[in-house]
Amino acid sequence: MKMKFRVISSITIAAVTTLMFGSCASDADSSGLEYMPDMYRSAAIEPYVDYGEIRGRENKEIKLKRSAMVPPAGTIPYYGTDSLTVALMMPYARKANTSMKSTHGMYDADLSEANEYELAAADKNPLELNADNMDAVFASGKKLFTSNCAHCHGAKGDGNGPMVESGAYVGVPDYANLTNLSDGQLFYSIYYGKGMMGAHGPILDKKEIWTLVHYIRKFQDANYGKTTATPVVDVEVEEAH
């Protein structure tokens, strides 16, 4: 009995040792052999997986290259069948200026030589604001502002957020002094960034940014939205110009 136990123990130790040393590789960058790759590598394309080395095969031409592809130009995220919401998700017609290639990292963007910020002055907020949805829009705007803007612009929109008070940033404007800016210019500034503020287009969809524009107007006029409703704008017509 003892003899059998010793034999089994010896075989087990030898197998484990062989397995451990067999998983080692001379390449310092290698994670070792993959015994069950299907258990932790999905068949779908993953954005941060090095597909140049997988299952014992190495392809130096694609090694360390990003596997996630850039979405096709003009693709649109559709949400339901509501025509206004779908229109809000249409690609933004205004382009970043060529100067923003270096100042705001718009290296892969379709840039324009024109002063698109000035052209945006003609754009109206297409998100309807009325007595039925006003409270919900402002509540959503407050939530978005608190998580994305208040750290610099301040909870009151006065430009005295924690980042400014710490001395990290200067020159953040008080929204009360920006009444001369149109809805379109506010949207353009949030979407592409302005001054030291980075672009928020990659992290907020267009409906969320237009919601923020409504909320910012509250800093400029406490009665904003209470006396007059914002008309619905034909987004497709507006963006065709």
Cα distance between residue 95 and residue 104, in whole Å: 13
Tell me, yes or no, whether 91 and 53 share the same domain.
Answer: no
Cα distance between residue 145 and residue 158, in whole Å: 13
Q: How confident is the model at residue 85 (pLDDT cuts 50, 70, 90)?
A: confident
Look at residues 175, 185, 163, 50 and name the one whose alpha carbon lies nearest to residue 117.
185
Query: 117 or 27: whose pLDDT is higher?
Result: 117
Tell me, yes or no, whether 96 and 206 share the same domain.
Answer: yes
Residue 38 lies in a domain: yes
Residue 184's pLDDT is what? 96
Tell me, yes or no, whether 41 and 103 share the same domain.
Answer: no
Instruction: State yes or no: pLDDT of 30 exceeds 80.
Output: no
Residue 64 lies in a domain: no
Residue 121 lies in a domain: yes
Q: How confident is the model at residue 38 (pLDDT cuts 50, 70, 90)?
A: low
User: Per the structure, how many domains does the chain have?
Assistant: 2
At 151-183, the pLDDT tens digits run 999 999 999 999 999 998 888 999 999 999 999
Cα distance between residue 184 and residue 93, in whole Å: 11
